[in-house]
Amino acid sequence: MVGSGGVGDALARILARRSRSAAFFDAVVVADYDEGRAQRTVAAVREREGAAAAARFSAARVDASDAASVAALAKEVGATHVMNAVDPRFVMPVFTGALQAGAGYLDMAMSLSHPHPERPHELTGVKLGDEQFAMARQWEDAGQLALVGIGVEPGLADVFARYATEELFSHVTELGVRDGANLQVEGYDFAPSFSIWTTIEECLNPPVVWERGAWHTLEPFSDPEVFDFPGGIGPVECVHVEHEEVLLMPRWLQAEKVTFKYGLGAEFIAVLKDLHKLGLDRTEPVTVKGVQVSPRDVVAAALPDPATLGPLMKGSTCAGLLVTGTGRGEGFEGRPREVYLHHVVDNAWSMEEYGAQCVVWQTAVNPAVALELLADGRWSGAGVLGPEALPHRPFLDLLAADDGYASPWGLQERTPTSA
């Protein structure tokens, strides 16, 4: 596992807990550029789950910016899979290193996009994941699988999308990812619960929409709508955001339209706009008193580490997919149907059970499920694939089962807008 930040740390805790009942892995090597951070994750596993569970975990140093470093460590430890738990800047070195090592690969965010140089709010430039899909033939020829976008978003929503298109709908008008939360962080006016580096990348890039058989882009924060989330969260204003699901789902599933909207809130949007206005969202280094620094890295360093916010957080987070179209099955055949498939995690629960705040825990549980399915053969393949390319039922069953990961998901029937 490359990276032991918030999500990587949560994933280690989830795997350790799961090893009590399902020993589907021999060893987990927690690797980070800061080996001390990786060691802290292993120590946390030992403290919460005991020495027996922690015996399968070890710490190592790796440079995620260097494919050769990733490949060398993977070969040294005999890794069957390389789990990428660092931010999207390092996707391609980790992805390439796994291929060189002859290992499988998983990530929760895909290679970075680059806006169209002349018409960024109309046309796509380099899309999320394009660099990875350009190497798909190499993975196929090697007989190796790169499973991309297997966090919660992207990830679980993509599994939901396959479930909906195969079992719930005969025709899909829209696959609309809708995420929101009612989280509050005590003592902070502004404290993102996820990597601010990734948040800036997602929210300030032109969002992509799939419509009429093609991808096109919009202006950031466009088309606001108030979406009513379950789990006690309630109405949250959501806006278009660039995200991998829109680039993944149309490759394997049929839908007239695919969108992603996130409940950011007016204050969060205002802060992001100010960062952009001041140039603090830039990744290119600037010179400060003779030192080269990235403005975005400075912003990230000035904010609290999301992994440390759990004890101060209250509320829940919801990730889900709103599907509209023509239903199938008893009582729905041929009729307009609207379904919200969702997964809600309460912060108090995830902190009590795992010592991990809810946003990173919700992200981390999905690659844990995927790794188990890959280990026992229920998921398999070669090339570069998204979660929607693989069977949905084993994943959804294992995620929710009491003898699995005991994290149920929900299906909410809504009144179709056309009804």
Task: Assign domain 156-355+408-414 to a CATH class.
Answer: alpha beta
Identify the pLDDT of residue 287. Answer: 93
Q: CA-CA distance, 188 to 209, in Å (whole number)?
A: 34
Name the pLDDT band for 306 (thresholds 50, 70, 90): confident
Q: CA-CA distance, 419 to 416, in Å (whole number)?
A: 5
Tell me the average pLDDT of the chain.
Answer: 94
Identify the pLDDT of residue 419. Answer: 47
Other CB atoms within a 10 A radius of the CB of residue 108 amount to 29
Identify the pLDDT of residue 196. Answer: 77
Indicate the domain borders of the chain. 156-355+408-414
Which tokens belong to 379?
Answer: 């998921």
User: What is the DSSP secondary structure assignment for residue 312, as one 8-state letter?
Assistant: G
Give me the mean pLDDT over the 280-300 stretch. Answer: 89
Instruction: Give me the residues paired with residue 384 across strands.
Output: 146
Are the C-beta atoms of residues 343 and 410 closer than 8 Å to each other? Answer: yes
Name the pLDDT band for 211 (thresholds 50, 70, 90): very high
Closest CA to 283 of 268, 295, 299, 298: 295
Min mean pLDDT across 171-175, 265-269, 277-281 is at 265-269
Are the C-beta atoms of residues 216 and 274 closer than 8 Å to each other? Answer: no
Give me the mean pLDDT over the 389-403 stretch. Answer: 98
Give me the mean pLDDT over the 218-222 stretch. Answer: 93
pLDDT in tens, 78-135: 999 999 999 999 999 999 999 999 999 999 999 999 999 999 999 999 999 999 999 9
pLDDT in tens, 321-361: 999 999 998 899 999 999 999 999 999 999 999 999 999 99
Is the C-alpha dihedral spanning 392, 395, 400, 403 positive or negative?
positive
Which tokens belong to 265?
Answer: 């809130």
418 pLDDT more than 60: no
Closest CA to 45 of 371, 405, 354: 354
Identify the pLDDT of residue 202. Answer: 76
Q: CA-CA distance, 141 to 178, in Å (whole number)?
A: 36
Map residue 202 onto helix, strand or coil: helix
399 pLDDT more than 60: yes
